[in-house]
């Protein structure tokens, strides 16, 4: 028996094998796409609501420009992509004049979708917040606004107490 000789040159590559099983990832599938949400906050001012009651004094805290557009003069939030959305709003009302209620609506294309109403809980408190939220199907070019139910209401547009926004949950089923 003789000892093996030196190694020869590499051979030609073989035929490709069958595909392997799907891989696993530590990251959720959605982590590769950007979140589709907007959060608008008050402009740190105190305002008295007049003419139609629409709140327009918003500052963008975060905004996905591919999904939402803020019309700053009108206070309208325009939807750019069809989908199922979670929308929410909170407003802080001061009870200064004759207002005994904190009440606002979220409108979709100028039609009421959600409303929040709270009354003065005791005469010692001069302010109160009112929060509402819901899920709806929205199509591109629809607009969301926040409107006070009663005119002459005094609003604290603090970024921590008066805000609204939306999160796109997915496509329209």
Report d(CA 75, CA 144) in Å as an integer.
9
CB 78 within 8 A of CB 71: yes
- Residue-wise pLDDT tens digits, 135-152: 999 999 999 999 998 877
SS3 76: strand
Please give the radius of gyration of the chain, using alpha carbons only, rounded to the nearest integer.
Answer: 27
Report d(CA 7, CA 2) in Å as an integer.
15
- Residue-wise pLDDT tens digits, 19-57: 878 876 555 554 445 679 999 999 888 888 877 899 998
SS3 30: helix
């Amino acid at each position: 028996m003789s000892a093996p000789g030196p190694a020869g040159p590499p051979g030609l590559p073989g035929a490709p094998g069958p595909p392997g099983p799907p891989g696993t990832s530590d990251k959720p599938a959605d982590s590769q796409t950007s979140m589709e949400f907007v959060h608008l906050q008050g402009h740190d001012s105190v305002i008295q609501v007049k003419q139609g009651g629409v709140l327009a004094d918003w500052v963008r805290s975060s905004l996905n420009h591919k999904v939402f557009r803020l019309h700053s003069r009108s206070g309208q939030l325009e939807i750019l992509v069809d989908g199922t959305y979670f929308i929410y709003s909170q407003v802080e009302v001061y009870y200064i004049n004759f207002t005994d209620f904190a009440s606002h609506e979220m409108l979709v294309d100028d039609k009421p979708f959600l409303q929040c109403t709270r009354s003065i809980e005791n005469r010692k408190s001069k302010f109160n917040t009112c929060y509402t939220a819901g899920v709806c199907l929205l199509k591109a070019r629809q607009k969301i606004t926040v409107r006070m139910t009663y005119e002459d209401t005094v609003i604290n547009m603090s970024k921590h107490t008066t805000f609204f926004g939306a999160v796109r949950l997915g496509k329209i089923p």
